Amino acid sequence: MRGRYLVGILLILVGAGFLMDQFGMVSFGKLVSTYWPSILILVGLLGLLDRHSSTFGNLIILSLGVIFQLNRLDMLDGDIFRYIFPVILIFVGLNLLITKGGKKEYYEYHRDTNPDEEGTREKGDWTLSSEDFMDRTVLMSGVDTINSSQNFKGARLTAIMGGIKLDLTGANMAGDHCQIEATAIAGGIDIIVPRHWRVEMRGTPIMGGYSNRTGVVDDPSAPVLVIKGAAIMGGVEIKW
């Protein structure tokens, strides 16, 4: 609903601007060509105020808006894309450092409740896991994991110029919902979920894509999996 309101307001403002341009009141075309990145800045700021939205994705959008706006105001020299990549790397690093619910919390819980179990083991090209919370980061490599936790609490997946595959068909959630933060940068993340799970996509695509290929789950009490994060020149796909 908030997205609809934002789009509606923007359309009204753009329409009013072009109408005023026709009456010779303002040069709206020039204003748009100069200040269009401000729309990205506004979207990023509004997203940060929405607790259901991806903080990481909105920070990226906000940063891109600032970079493009500075360029339109002739405050940046040369190719602006040389600024974008370092900014993305900085935010990815910060996201890995400060995101809550990471591997440390899982291993502390896992050590206390299952002191003699390692939680993962290898089988062929796949890693078999019973982790309640998963934390995976790949850089120019790949990892395929089958998770069979019966108390699954979520995951944080980051693929940078690499790939992650996560099979959750044998897992069960700890409660009625959980969250996976999936961030793909010039890489891909594929997540396979049970057919009785309902999937909600809240990720931010930036020159990339989020794809939900699961079907409709009619059961109102079905467990809900929320997917957040960002797809930057990469892709995140959820399927049955």
Helices 55-72 and 81-98, packing angle to 10 deg: 160
- pLDDT at residue number 210: 87
Which whole number is the average pLDDT over 181-198? 93
102-108 long-range Cβ contacts below 8 angstroms, 24+ apart: 102/135, 102/156, 103/133, 103/135, 105/133, 106/131, 106/132, 106/133, 106/134, 106/135
Residues 6+ apart with CB under 8 A from 64: 37, 40, 84, 206
Q: Using the Cα atoms of residue 194, residue 199, residue 205 and residue 208 in order, give the sign of their dihedral.
A: positive
Mean pLDDT of 151-156: 95
Per-residue pLDDT tens digits for 69-86: 898 888 887 777 788 878
The tokens describing 110, both together, are 């896992």
Q: Contact at 8 Å (CB) between 203 and 158? A: no
Tokens 């934390």 belong to residue: 135
| Averaged pLDDT for residues 74-100 | 77
- Taking only the tens place, the pLDDT of each residue in 214-235 is 999 999 899 999 999 888 888 9
CA distance 107 to 104: 5
Average pLDDT over residues 151-170: 93
What is the rounded average pLDDT of the residues 183-200? Answer: 93
Report percent pLDDT > 90 for the chain. Answer: 32
Q: Is the pLDDT of residue 114 over 70?
A: no
Task: Give the helix/strand (H/E) hosting 171.
Answer: none
Yes or no: say if 136 and 162 are a contact pair by the CB < 8 Å rule.
no
DSSP string across 178-240? EEEEEEEESSEEEEE--TT-EEEE--EEESSEEEE-------TT--EEEEEEEEESSEEEEE-
At 3 the pLDDT is: 57
- CA 177/CA 199 separation, integer angstroms: 10
Question: What pLDDT is stored for residue 71 in this prediction?
Answer: 86
